[in-house]
Structure 1
Amino acid sequence: MSKPLYKISFLNHGRVYELYARRVSSGSLWGFVEVAELVFDVHDTLVVDPTEERLRSEFGETRVLHLPMQSVLRVEEVERKGQSAIRDAESGERVVTPFPFPAKPR
């Protein structure tokens, strides 16, 4: 039997982050939720999701993420991983970092 998979939604600097992890607990620090064994997509194709890459660069080396209980919006146990996302807290729209264009030559 495989380990359970959780989708965690939490607030961070006015944005709603949606991450996937294999382990979620109330933790040893009072008032915090421990999120461990974060799950990111493995890219076998040429198409890369910029949001997933941004989350991987921000949380990729994290062993355990300690989130204040007040910032956690929802924890769901899911069957399979969906897309990780960063959304605007007020509008709910995805926050997409624009692809950097090269500077114009002078």
Structure 2
Amino acid sequence: MPKTLYKVTFLNAGKVYELYARHVGSGALWGFTEVGELVFDVHDGVVIDPTEERLRDEFGNTRVLHLPMHSIVRIEEVERKGQSAIRDATTGEKVVTPFPLPAKPR
């Protein structure tokens, strides 16, 4: 039986983070939600998602996130992992932009 997967959306420093995790629950710290067993894509190919890499750099060694309950926007139980994201809280646009295209020769 596959383990439950959650999409956790929360506010952090003026940005909206969307992460995937296998564990979500109330923890020993009052007012905080525990988010553990974070799930990141494993890329063996050439194409790398810069947002996923940034999230892995920031949270890759994290065993459990203790998020203040008031910072959580939504927790969804999902069937499969989608694309993780970091968005601007006011506009909803992604913060990390794709790799720049080469400049046109003059």
Give the TM-score, by structure 2 length.
0.91
- Look up the match of 1:103: none
How far apart are residue 73 of structure 1 and its match? 0.3
How far apart are residue 81 of structure 1 and its match? 0.2
How far apart are residue 57 of structure 1 and its match? 0.3
**In the TM superposition, what are the counterparts of 1:26-41 in structure 2 within 5 Å?**
26-41=26-41
Could you list the per-position Cα deviations for residues 26-85 of structure 1 after superposition, in whole angstroms to 9, with x for gaps in the alignment? 111100000000000000210000000000000000000000000000000000000000
Q: Secondary structure in 2 aligned to 1:52?
A: helix
Give the TM-score, by structure 1 length.
0.91
- Look up the match of 1:104: none
Q: Which amino acid aligns with 1:18?
A: E
How far apart are residue 99 of structure 1 and its match? 4.8
Q: Which amino acid aligns with 2:43?
A: H
- Look up the match of 2:71: 71
Q: Percent identity?
A: 77
**In the TM superposition, what are the counterparts of 1:5-20 in structure 2 within 5 Å?**
5-20=5-20
Aligned partners of 1:99 and 1:45: how far apart in 2?
Answer: 16
Aligned partners of 1:39 and 1:60: how far apart in 2?
Answer: 9
- Look up the match of 2:94: 94
Q: Which amino acid aligns with 1:52?
A: E
Aligned partners of 1:93 and 1:87: how far apart in 2?
Answer: 5
Aligned length: 100
Gaps of 5+ in 2: 101-106
Could you list the structure 1 runs, at least 4 aligned residues long, displaced by more than 4 angstroms after superposition: 97-100
How far apart are residue 97 of structure 1 and its match? 4.9
